[in-house]
Amino acid sequence: MAFRAVKEKYRSKVGEAILGATKEQGGTRGYTITVGGESTLPFLHFEGEIPNRPVVALEVRDVAPSDWHACFSAYYGDVFADPAAWAKKCVEEYAADLIVLHLEGADPDGKDASPEDCAKVVLNVLATVDCPLVILGCGKAEKDNKVLPVAAEAAAGENLLIGVAEQENYKSLTAACMVHKHNIIAQSPIDINICKQLNILITEMNLPANRIIIDPTIAAVGYGLEYGYSIMERARNGALQGDNMLAMPMIGNVGYEVWRTKEANSSIEDFPGWGLQEPRGILWEVTTAVALLQGGMNILVMRHPKAAALVKESIAELMQKTELEN
Amino acid sequence: MFIIGERINGMFKDIAQAIRNEDPRPIQEWAKKQEAGGARYLDINTGPAAKDQVKTMRWLVEKTQEVSKLPLSLDSTNYDAIEAGLEICKYPAMINSVPAEWPKMERVFTMALKYNAAVIGLAMNEQGIPKDADTRVALAMELVAAADSYGIPMEDLYLDPLVLPCNVGQNHGPEVMQTLRQVKLLANPAPRTVVGLSNISQGTKNRELINRIFAAMGVASGLDAAVADACDHELIEAIATARIIMNLDIYCDSYVEIYRKQQK
């Protein structure tokens, strides 16, 4: 008897979001990136459409990172002091689809850079690379509420993705994204209910749902990845069953989570049974990323260029339809 | 579970009068109000008073569609009137309704196929409304088999177990609930279910309370749709809450507002 694939019929699909704007669209990007649009669970090509492949972003900081493992110096050491050159290297040498610029320098307990100085860095990076850009604040809400609106205004028209908005602090960033026409990252603490509520709160301020990207908060393999994963699964199933307030594409800070684990950083001298540190860290990052792809992650923010390359290879394979699916 | 707004019905005095005077305003006001309230379909019933059922149905459909983009549920025992309505429906409509009787099923399923309409199938036949769940399910099975033989997808067949007022037909209550659960097993994919919700409270003094408790119990039994009062906010709240408890929607603090919005 011939094999017949059992297909689930879904009511709805994941929304599509467009990042970046070309000259014709009022920005200066060389291309735009569309994420989302799936009408089935991840990579089930036989069942529905997966119109846009997941994308890989590399992380750039406006100040040289003090907490990154020494192994990164071999890749970024020459550009750590220059975020624009760093971004250029990520795009040209390491084939990043887009750049995540982390405005760590704004941190009041660190460099305490002014909003204007932060905006300058954003403009510099925009002038140097032509890929769509994600910008993240320093994580201190009070300061971010000053920095991000200024950066959003300086980059008006570029259709950036800016984060993060949280349930307790979403209004000023939402307003800035509304006025200056950017997309927003809505971050919830591994909580599907807050995730949905935050999306509702943001859309109630009239920012369209297709300009929201969900950050469900993820963890590395071995550190509770399955909690974030199960949130992603519920959001995806919700989206496909018609829950518009969970139907946004998702972003995850893979590099950040992986490279603070013991497994990625410990030397072989400390744990002789674990093998060499750098390839181990790369594999930890790749494994985390690939697991999240299966949960429906659309934008992977990664750190190690070799891990990024391996994940891009994996995405290319996952996006190929098999014999069954043709 | 979604609501088919029941208010555009010639049984109501204001609608009967509007039909008599050919005054579209009450029709259009109710269309807008029910849409805002959270209806996903609007039921259109000419009522017994209309002399020319065909003409009245066409007029009601036209006037409703002028102000609302909701799909319509054409509610009549006069199939010529339903067909006249189907001819001018802008969106795939619902035929309300057909019993498990020939040749009525032939006429209705043929129309449904031609106009890409959904069908409400009543678990009754020439012998009237069954007393127990088993007979209701047997009649539902006849409807499922007939619909399938005409190529109607199960997602477009809404089985109505038939609800009686709880003050006169109290023994029907548990049978209706059991029928709602059992008809889901008749086919894969399962047929949908619908009830005329307000029937449960006819002639009682606590109509809204009875309606919303019944709706919540219906959700727990897998009910998909109800012809009901879309402007009853507490009813909408009860349905939204029942859906959360049954894990049909993902909880968030604004779940009631979201349920209302998502119906649109």
CA angle B112, B7, B161 (to 5 degrees): 55
Confidence of residue B50 (pLDDT cuts 50, 70, 90): confident
Beta-bridge partner residues of B119: B95, B157
Contacts of B258 in chain A (CB under 8 A): 196, 200, 245
Sign of the C-alpha dihedral computed for residues A269, A273, A278 and A281 taken in this order? negative
Minimal Cβ distance to A193: which of B189, B251, B262: B251
Residues 6+ apart with CB under 8 A from B69: B90, B91
Ordered by start, the domain boundaries in chain A are: 18-318
Task: Report which of residues B188 and A40 the model is more confident about.
Answer: A40
A66 touching B (Cβ < 8 Å)? no
A192 touching B (Cβ < 8 Å)? yes
Nearest-neighbour CA in chain A from B3: distance (Å): 16
CA angle B199, B204, B206 (to 5 degrees): 100
Q: What is the pTM of this model?
A: 0.85
Contacts of B253 in chain A (CB under 8 A): 193, 197
How high does pLDDT run on average in chain B? Answer: 95
pLDDT for B205-215, tens place per residue? 999 999 999 99
Provide mean pLDDT across the span A43-55: 96
CATH for B2-262?
3.20.20.20
pLDDT for A220-255, tens place per residue? 999 999 999 999 999 999 999 999 999 999 999 999
A194, closest residue in chain B (CA to CA): B252
Contact B252 A194 (CB under 8 A): yes
Query: CA-to-CA distance for B60 and B81, rounded, in angstroms?
Result: 11
Query: CA-to-CA distance for A295 and A235, rounded, in angstroms?
Result: 10
Nearest-neighbour CA in chain B from A301: distance (Å): 27
Q: What's the distance, CA A53 to chain centroid?
A: 14
**What is chain B's percent helix, strand, coil content, to nearest 5?**
50, 15, 35
Contact B262 A242 (CB under 8 A): yes
Q: What is the ipTM of this complex?
A: 0.79
Contact B189 A9 (CB under 8 A): yes
Domain A18-318 has CATH 3.40.1710.10: no
Query: CA-to-CA distance for A288 and A152, rounded, in angstroms?
Result: 31
Q: How far is CA A80 from CA A34, A66, A69, A254, in A?
A: 29, 10, 13, 20
B72 pLDDT above the threshold of 70: yes
Contact B250 A246 (CB under 8 A): yes
Contacts of B252 in chain A (CB under 8 A): 193-194, 196-197, 200, 245
Tell me what pLDDT residue A324 has. 66
Ordered by start, the domain boundaries in chain B are: 2-262
Query: CA-to-CA distance for B108 and B86, rounded, in angstroms?
Result: 11
Say what percent of chain A tops pLDDT 90. Answer: 95
The three-class DSSP label of residue B230 is: coil
Nearest-neighbour CA in chain A from B127: distance (Å): 38
**The one-letter amino acid at A150:** V
Q: Yes or no: say if A62 and A74 are a contact pair by the CB < 8 Å rule.
A: no
Minimal Cβ distance to A197: which of B249, B252, B262: B252
Q: How far is CA B213 from CA B43, B92, B201, B210, B239, in A?
A: 22, 31, 11, 5, 9
The size of chain B, in residues, is 264
Nearest-neighbour CA in chain A from B30: distance (Å): 26
In A, residues 211-240, which contact B (CB 8 Å cutoff)? Answer: 234, 238
pLDDT for A85-106, tens place per residue? 999 999 999 999 999 999 999 9
Burial (0-12, 13-18, 19+ Cβ within 10 Å), B211: buried
pLDDT for A301-323, tens place per residue? 999 999 999 999 999 999 998 76
Contact A200 B258 (CB under 8 A): yes
Identify the residue among A168, A240, A243 best suited for mutation to test binding to B, counting B beta carbons within 10 A and taking the highest. A243
Provide mean pLDDT across the span A28-53: 96
Confidence of residue A8 (pLDDT cuts 50, 70, 90): confident
How high does pLDDT run on average in chain A? Answer: 96
A240, closest residue in chain B (CA to CA): B249
With tokens 């390491």, the residue in question is: A94
Contact B262 A244 (CB under 8 A): yes
